[in-house]
């Protein structure tokens, strides 16, 4: 049973991120590196895309949080991802797994299973990917979500319980669970799905917020990341003429997001 | 002999793309992945940049269309490109070859020849690249077009006849041929050449349009892709203060392009 | 002793770049390739991201200038970087080394030393990186500058004298030295640090300007690159609502920068 995420919780973690900028290491896909770094900078965090073997591990030890996104997992990056996850675990650095398009594609599906076994702090994905990751679905086609977050809740709970992680399922209403409690965020805008990396960059923001979480705050932090991200998107969409003008407006909105906007706009259950 | 592309043809294929979003697999260069994905999203298509060996082939079987762009062809991607082209042929998936900077650079020039022999559905390039690909020129310097599309028409016709493909030559007036008929589109704006990926993303749009073409519609579909793309560019340029503001305006224009704009603005012969 | 950079010097080299567009080869990191190419296009230069072994060397022979940026140096790119630097030296092509995050990360730190020994025409970096490169500091965390350019001047002078290169240290006041004379530029805006690649793209602009320099003009050209870049940033920031709207405005400002703006805005000592 939950009563939803409070604006106060969101503002508290956001202010920690802004006052003590976390260093967020992203091992992510080639399509969204630029947008992801700009999202982190707009948020007040410091991005670093250190993703080669021999450096990914040492960097994960000094990073505040790590994102492992499987969008375009070429061979060197796969090695670096495992290296980073192991080092993050060893150093106590929170890390987020984004299993892009897991299910039907063999290389990333095998890698996702290997990474999942290393027990990420959080998993962020769309409903189809979460169901595929839990073995309860076939996955979507590419990054498309063909399933509903609510339908993926059993799979998300299963993953959360089995691997001790928070699972965030993105969709029109985002569902975030730790296997015991569930939070729902109904902010955002469909334009966020019309900019590549709209989901991927949220994984990086989640890593930033987890790095600012205290013990036991994982669920709240992951949900707060989603809230900040989707509220900024909703605000940006209000003034956008299309997906092109939405993207820079979204970065501006993230950079300028105020506690008042969070209080006014947050829709959570 | 042709009488040009009709606005009706353009609108018809665009409406198919929008109503049944094609899944477009892009094996493309590191510089333009983000812009290319955003162009496809703005168009209403679903991009997927699956470009690693072991996944590129299986994905090409389920994709609606495939783009193979040789801009930064590192070793893994070269393997994946051949895998994707073979699988696309086997599955009947249309695919587009964009032989970036072919001619003087040895690795991509050899790869382009190998891919061309696999008979792409279409080739999209600038005039210098088309002439180099046909063995009739030395290629430009990098992605620069130092030749005129009209001058490349003999080379384009030769390629079209020999490999059974449509050839689209980009330039101030775009020339599209299947070796028998030729269509010319005189829309666009010079700002499109001031945004990196301005040509590359058109290759992805061409793959999307080819996936919506019926038998015998290849030439029309490739020309319609060019028309939609360059009309949107022309419209965006009208309100842009420079190349920076042009790029988001172009995505907005693509997303919002109407049949009326196509009818009013299309300049084809 | 110097009396600062003159607006006339800046305008002279900029006009050369615009009237005879240099072909700038960038071997740069995956995060900033797109932004870097767009910055070069806005400036009037022609970018080419040729960074694979077997092509990087031949291309460096025909390029006007080369950038080697160590942000995400995967194995193939490392080979290509050494190939490009050797070929650039052999052909007399000016090249710029940007030793991103050098110091603590082992792979790039070893590579930076190897490249430095090949005597780049210029080194561009932040203060922490310059100090680490000269063996006088531990480096920052990732791309963060935790030191001041003025504090890095001894390290910059040491590098300039030892390797015969110009060293440009980016910061609130940029410091550029050839080991004998020092130029300072106090233009720019903090928003430039909120867009990923804000520093990296300056390395590419520096390569473009060096290619337009005559004998003995290296220091002036590198400083002029910084001046044009930071004046455009300052102008763009004046009308930006945040980092998102700043980026396109910056590209517009670069494309439209006038001699009058340079004369009015340049702050140099």
* Token code pair at residue C35: 């932004």
Partner-chain contact C243 A42, CB within 8 Å: yes
What's the pLDDT band for A145 if we cut at 50, 70, 90?
Answer: low
Average pLDDT over residues B108-137: 94
Name chain C contacts of A49, Cβ cutoff 8 Å.
29-31, 71-72
Partner-chain contact A72 B54, CB within 8 Å: no
Q: Say if residues B95 and B65 touch (Cβ distance below 8 Å).
A: yes
Q: Residue ranges per domain, chain B?
A: 7-265
Partner-chain contact C196 A55, CB within 8 Å: no
User: Could you tell me if C72 lies within 8 Å of chain A, comparing CB atoms?
Assistant: yes
Helix (H, G, I), strand (E, B) or coil at B117: coil
Q: Calculate helix-pair angle for A243-256, C243-256, nearest 10 degrees.
A: 120
List C-alpha distances in Å: A154 to A99, A167, A169, A182: 17, 11, 11, 11
Q: Say if residues B164 and B122 touch (Cβ distance below 8 Å).
A: no
Name chain B contacts of A30, Cβ cutoff 8 Å.
30, 33, 49
Phi, psi values for residue B215, rounded to 5° = -55, 130
Put simply, the chain B residues between 27 and 46 with a CB less than 8 A from any chain A CB are 30, 33-34, 37-38, 41-42, 46
pLDDT, residue A1, reads 43
Residues annotated in a binding site of A for substrate = 49, 197
Partner-chain contact A256 C243, CB within 8 Å: no
Q: What is the mean pLDDT of chain B?
A: 95
Q: Calculate helix-pair angle for B243-256, C33-43, nearest 10 degrees.
A: 120
Q: What distance in Å separates the CA atoms of residue B13 and residue B44, rounded to the nearest whole number?
A: 12
Q: What distance in Å separates the CA atoms of residue A18 and residue A224, rounded to the nearest whole number?
A: 14
State the DSSP string of C126-185: EHHHHHHHTTSS---STT---S-GGGGHHHHHHHHHHHT-EEEEESSSEEEE-SS-EEEE
Name chain C contacts of B141, Cβ cutoff 8 Å.
23, 46, 48, 62
Indicate whether B143 pLDDT > 60.
no
Residues annotated in a binding site of A = 49, 124, 170, 197
Average pLDDT over residues A150-174: 97
pLDDT, residue B4, reads 84
- For an interface test with C, the pick among A54, A195, A241 (most C C-beta atoms closer than 10 Å) comes out as A54
Distance from CA of B69 to the nearest CA of A (A): 14
What's the pLDDT band for C1 if we cut at 50, 70, 90?
Answer: very low
The set of residues, in sequence order, having a beta carbon less than 8 Å from that of A268 and lying 6+ positions away, is A4, A5, A6, A183, A184, A185, A186, A223, A227
Q: Say if residues C126 and C143 touch (Cβ distance below 8 Å).
A: yes
Q: List, for residues B186-239, the tens digit of each pLDDT value.
A: 999 999 999 999 999 999 999 999 999 999 999 999 999 999 999 999 999 999
B17 DSSP 8-state letter: H
The set of residues, in sequence order, having a beta carbon less than 8 Å from that of A216 and lying 6+ positions away, is none
C141 is in an annotated binding site: no
pLDDT, residue A144, reads 52
Indicate whether A2 pLDDT > 70.
no
The minimal CB distance from C243 to the residues A55, A76, A252 is found for A252
The set of residues, in sequence order, having a beta carbon less than 8 Å from that of C1 and lying 6+ positions away, is C181
* Token code pair at residue C176: 């550029």
The set of residues, in sequence order, having a beta carbon less than 8 Å from that of B215 and lying 6+ positions away, is none
Q: What distance in Å separates the CA atoms of residue A21 and residue A23, rounded to the nearest whole number?
A: 7
- For an interface test with B, the pick among A201, A243, A251 (most B C-beta atoms closer than 10 Å) comes out as A243
Q: Say if residues B250 and B195 touch (Cβ distance below 8 Å).
A: yes
pTM for this prediction: 0.97
> HSE of C104 in the Cβ direction (CA atoms, 13 Å)?
18
Closest residue in chain C to residue B143, using alpha carbons only: C48
C197 is in an annotated binding site: yes
Shortest CA distance to A207 belongs to which of A3, A34, A8, A37? A37
Indicate whether C248 pLDDT > 90.
yes
Distance from CA of A260 to the nearest CA of C (A): 18
pLDDT, residue B147, reads 78
Distance from CA of C7 to the nearest CA of A (A): 32
CA C56 to centroid of chain Cα atoms: 19
- For an interface test with A, the pick among B64, B252, B254 (most A C-beta atoms closer than 10 Å) comes out as B252
Q: List, for residues C14-26, the tens digit of each pLDDT value.
A: 999 999 999 999 9
Distance from CA of B144 to the nearest CA of C (A): 8
pLDDT, residue B104, reads 86
Q: Calculate helix-pair angle for B243-256, B218-238, nearest 10 degrees.
A: 130
pLDDT, residue C147, reads 78
Partner-chain contact B197 C34, CB within 8 Å: yes
Distance from CA of B13 to the nearest CA of C (A): 30
Closest residue in chain A to residue C194, using alpha carbons only: A41
Q: List, for residues A12-47, the tens digit of each pLDDT value.
A: 999 999 999 999 999 999 999 999 999 999 999 999
Distance from CA of A42 to the nearest CA of C (A): 7
Indicate whether A139 pLDDT > 90.
no
Q: List, for residues B91-118, the tens digit of each pLDDT value.
A: 999 999 999 999 989 999 999 999 999 9
The A174-177 sheet, strands edge to edge: A46-48, A23-27, A65-69, A95-98, A122-126, A166-170, A174-177, A182-185
Q: Say if residues A68 and A98 touch (Cβ distance below 8 Å).
A: yes
The set of residues, in sequence order, having a beta carbon less than 8 Å from that of C12 and lying 6+ positions away, is none
- Neighbors of chain A by Cβ distance (3+ pairs < 8 Å): B, C
Q: Residue A126: which H helix or E strand, with range?
A: strand A122-126
Partner-chain contact A52 C107, CB within 8 Å: yes
The minimal CB distance from A196 to the residues B41, B54, B62 is found for B41
Name chain B contacts of A75, Cβ cutoff 8 Å.
52, 76
Q: What distance in Å separates the CA atoms of residue C122 and residue A98, rounded to the nearest whole number?
A: 39
Partner-chain contact A196 B47, CB within 8 Å: yes
Q: Which residue has the higher pLDDT, B146 or A52?
A: A52
Q: What is the mean pLDDT of chain A?
A: 95
Share of chain C above pLDDT 70, in %: 95
Partner-chain contact B42 A108, CB within 8 Å: no
Shortest CA distance to C69 belongs to which of C21, C16, C126? C126
Put simply, the chain B residues between 228 and 267 with a CB less than 8 A from any chain C CB are 241-245, 247-248
- For an interface test with B, the pick among A196, A199, A251 (most B C-beta atoms closer than 10 Å) comes out as A196
Indicate whether A143 pLDDT > 80.
no
pLDDT, residue C104, reads 86
**What are the helix and strand counts (H, E) for chain B?**
11, 8
Q: How many residues would you count in chain C? A: 269
User: Could you tell me if B200 lies within 8 Å of chain C, comparing CB atoms?
Assistant: no
Q: Say if residues C227 and C5 touch (Cβ distance below 8 Å).
A: yes
Give, in degrees to the nearest 5, the angle at Cα B227 between B224 and B233: 145
Q: How many CB pairs under 8 A join A and C?
A: 96
The minimal CB distance from C195 to the residues A30, A41, A247 is found for A41
Distance from CA of B252 to the nearest CA of C (A): 14
In the CATH hierarchy, which fold is given to the domain comprising C7-265?
3.40.1190
Shortest CA distance to A119 belongs to which of A91, A155, A160? A160
What's the pLDDT band for A240 if we cut at 50, 70, 90?
Answer: very high
Q: What distance in Å separates the CA atoms of residue B222 and residue B238, rounded to the nearest whole number?
A: 25
Name chain B contacts of C51, Cβ cutoff 8 Å.
72
Q: How many CB pairs under 8 A join B and C?
A: 95
User: Could you tell me if C135 lies within 8 Å of chain B, comparing CB atoms?
Assistant: no
State the DSSP string of A89-114: HHHT--EEEE-TTTTT-HHHHHHHHH
Average pLDDT over residues B111-130: 97
Hey, what's the torsion of the CAs at C92, C97, C103, C104, to 10 degrees?
-110
* Token code pair at residue B247: 């790029």
- For an interface test with A, the pick among B22, B93, B249, B255 (most A C-beta atoms closer than 10 Å) comes out as B255
Q: What distance in Å separates the CA atoms of residue A102 and residue A22, rounded to the nearest whole number?
A: 28
pLDDT, residue B1, reads 43
A174 DSSP 8-state letter: E
Indicate whether A146 pLDDT > 70.
no
What's the pLDDT band for B146 if we cut at 50, 70, 90?
Answer: low
List C-alpha distances in Å: B1 to A96, B150, B178, B220, C215: 59, 16, 12, 14, 57
Q: Which residue has the higher pLDDT, C140 or B161?
A: B161
Average pLDDT over residues C83-107: 97
Distance from CA of B77 to the nearest CA of A (A): 9
Name chain A contacts of B50, Cβ cutoff 8 Å.
72, 101, 105, 142
Distance from CA of B227 to the nearest CA of A (A): 19
Shortest CA distance to C232 belongs to which of C3, C6, C5, C10? C10
Q: Say if residues B69 and B203 touch (Cβ distance below 8 Å).
A: yes
The minimal CB distance from A52 to the residues C72, C142, C248 is found for C72
pLDDT, residue C140, reads 54
Q: In terms of DSSP bridges, do strands C95-98 and C65-69 run parallel, antiparallel, or are they unpaired?
A: parallel
User: Could you tell me if B15 lies within 8 Å of chain C, comparing CB atoms?
Assistant: no
C49 is in an annotated binding site: yes
What's the pLDDT band for A4 if we cut at 50, 70, 90?
Answer: confident
What's the pLDDT band for C137 if we cut at 50, 70, 90?
Answer: low
Distance from CA of C84 to the nearest CA of A (A): 21
C68 DSSP 8-state letter: E
Name chain B contacts of A29, Cβ cutoff 8 Å.
49
Q: Which residue has the higher pLDDT, C4 or C215?
A: C215
Other C-beta atoms closer than 10 Å to the C-beta of B51 total 26
Q: List, for residues C45-80, the tens digit of each pLDDT value.
A: 999 999 999 999 999 999 999 999 999 999 999 999
């Amino acid at each position: 049973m939950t009563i939803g995420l409070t604006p106060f919780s969101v503002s508290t973690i956001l202010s920690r991120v802004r006052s003590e900028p976390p260093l967020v290491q992203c091992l992510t896909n080639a399509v969204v590196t630029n947008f992801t770094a700009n999202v982190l900078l707009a948020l007040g965090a410091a991005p670093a895309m250190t993703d080669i073997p021999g450096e990914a591990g040492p960097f994960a030890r000094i990073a505040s949080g790590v994102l492992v996104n499987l969008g375009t997992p070429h061979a060197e990056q796969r090695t670096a991802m495992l290296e980073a996850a192991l080092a993050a675990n060893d150093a106590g650095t929170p890390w987020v797994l984004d299993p892009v398009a897991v299910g039907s594609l063999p290389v990333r599906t095998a890698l996702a299973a290997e990474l999942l076994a290393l027990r990420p702090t959080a998993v962020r994905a769309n409903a189809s990917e979460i169901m595929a990751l839990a073995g309860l679905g076939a996955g979507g086609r590419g990054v498309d979500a063909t399933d509903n977050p609510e339908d993926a809740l059993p799979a998300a709970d299963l993953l959360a319980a089995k691997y001790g992680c928070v699972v965030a399922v993105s969709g029109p209403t985002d569902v975030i669970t730790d296997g015991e409690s569930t939070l729902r965020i109904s902010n955002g805008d469909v334009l966020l799905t019309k900019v590549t990396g709209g989901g991927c960059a949220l994984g990086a923001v989640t890593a930033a917020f987890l790095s600012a979480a205290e013990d036991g705050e994982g669920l709240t932090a992951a949900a707060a990341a989603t809230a900040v991200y989707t509220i900024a998107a909703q605000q940006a969409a209000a003034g956008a003429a299309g997906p092109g003008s939405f993207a820079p407006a979204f970065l501006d909105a993230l950079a300028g997001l105020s506690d008042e906007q969070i209080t006014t706009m947050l829709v959570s259950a």
